[in-house]
Amino acid sequence: MKIAIIEDEHLASNYLKSILEQQQIITISEVTILKSVKDAVAFFKEKTVDLAFMDIHLGDGKSLDIFEEATISCPVIFITAYDSYAVKVFKHFTIDYLLKPYEEEELLEALSKYKNIKETFNPNPILESLVEIENQSSIQHHFLVNHRDKLISINDTAIPYFFATGKHLFLHTNSGNSYLYNSNLKDLINSLDQKLFFKINRKYIINRHHIQEIVKHSSQKIELLLNLAVPDTEPIILSKKEINNFKNWLNS
């Protein structure tokens, strides 16, 4: 069988190759080492392998880029330095993962797993797993704000809502304090935990845990009442174009 190693660290790829060439679990006829997204895309557009080992971060991009430009139908064992959340995702969607730094025994266990399930392997969820990890890794959970002569880091769970007025954006906390935050609603929503926050309209991004009541005035007019005071005297009305998305968000 043929194997591809997508890894830009010379020592890491050689270490992996040496173990593969010495192990007795599977018979290997060829090992190809690819050191970049560019090389991997070019390779998989022309050739196929039976198994691929893939590092997540490469010198010229991320492994996700490879899946977007080339078709990879073989099982993949990921080599990653991600945290426990990402590891759970890899474990659920893919053949296996190797968390750096890994031992030879861990690699042999991954090969044994591959040998047992290779006939029923379904490659379709691989891209889904990478997208989920990519999204999770880019989420911002802490927000640095100025308060007099101090800098304060505020966790997202302590933020019931963000409020925009004019050119300014304010971060409001559970304790009732508000801080000027250097961003805007459009950019901010892309960095927030989408399961926790939703952009209601041009003024508000709200935390789901602080919605006290949802008032349906009509099919096209929905008002939200929060469980704490807000700075605006006008009611919080959900944008018409976001009504269906909001309902789906509540159900998620």
Does 219 have pLDDT greater than 50?
yes
In words, the CATH class of domain 2-137 is alpha beta
Does 61 have pLDDT greater than 90?
no
Domain ranges of the chain: 2-137, 143-251
What pTM was computed for the model? 0.51
Does 9 have pLDDT greater than 70?
yes
Does 186 have pLDDT greater than 80?
yes
| Structure tokens given for 20 | 């593969």
Predicted confidence at residue 168, as pLDDT, reads 93
Min mean pLDDT across 18-27, 74-83, 181-190 is at 74-83
pLDDT tens by residue, 69-98: 888 878 888 887 655 545 555 554 466 778
Share of the chain above pLDDT 90, in %: 46
Min mean pLDDT across 127-131, 141-145, 154-158, 208-212 is at 127-131
Predicted confidence at residue 125, as pLDDT, reads 58
At the second CATH level, the architecture of 143-251 is: Beta Barrel (2.40)
| Structure tokens given for 98 | 């190797």
| Structure tokens given for 213 | 């009541």
- When pLDDT is averaged across residues 35-63 and rounded to a whole number, the result is 89
> Which residue did the predictor score with more confidence, 29 or 129?
29
Predicted confidence at residue 120, as pLDDT, reads 67
- When pLDDT is averaged across residues 179-203 and rounded to a whole number, the result is 90
Predicted confidence at residue 18, as pLDDT, reads 94
> Rounded CA gap, 252 and 208, in Å?
11
Predicted confidence at residue 92, as pLDDT, reads 47
> Which pLDDT band, with edges at 50, 70 and 90, does 141 fall under?
confident
Does 240 have pLDDT greater than 60?
yes
> Which residue did the predictor score with more confidence, 101 or 136?
101
**Residue 135 CA: distances (Å) to CA of 3, 89, 191:** 29, 12, 9
